[in-house]
Structure 1
């Protein structure tokens, strides 16, 4: 049974955390882009994208993650991926994006690595 797609946001001391569940593909990536595009990011914040619940991610999903990074950079913020599934991590390495995103074992670890925003 597949997990239905969802992307939800909650605040942390360093910035927003977007938790993604299910398959991120051509049908659902626009919803992820919309969720992230609706965020207001400020300089020095960290956008954390928690991928622990992602069961599949195609090129559309990877594109949405790159768009999130671009949005964060335009705002003077950072971006970090948390709990990247092994298969997706391997895909990143194969297509040359292995070092494109800072990655952490969990959202909590990503948040702890970044200074709190005042």
Structure 2
């Protein structure tokens, strides 16, 4: 049995927080991309993408995360990944994306690092 995909967004003073759960793959990555595209990011904000609930992530999911980073960069905002599962962190390390995505254990740590 697979975990159903979920994506939700809330707004904090630092910027939007997107929480992702379940399998982030070719079937669900478009929903994450669409959710990110609907955000109103402003210069200087921090886009937090919380991934602790992600049970699987394929290349389509990674591509959606790169698109999120690009959207933040286009808005002169920053991005932080939070609660990255160990298997996904390993994939980031192996593919050279670990330096591409600032990652933090908690939302609070990401916001504190952002200033």
TM-score (norm 2): 0.97
- CA-atom RMSD, angstroms? 0.8
Are 1:79 and 2:79 an aligned pair? Answer: yes
Secondary structure in 2 matching 1:55: strand
SS in 1 for 2:48: strand
1:16 and 2:21 correspond: no
C-alpha distance in structure 1 between counterparts of 2:96 and 2:112, whole Å:
27
User: Following TM superposition, where does structure 1 have runs of at least 4 consecutive aligned residues deviating by more than 3 angstroms?
Assistant: none
Shift of 1:16: 0.2
Counterpart of 1:99 in structure 2 is 99
Structure 1 spans left out of the alignment, 5+ residues: none
Provide the rounded CA distance (Å) in 2 between the counterparts of 1:111 and 1:24: 24
**Unpaired stretches in structure 2, ≥5 consecutive residues:** none
User: TM-score, structure 1 length as denominator?
Assistant: 0.94
How many pairs were matched up? 115
Q: Secondary structure of the equivalent of 1:11?
A: strand
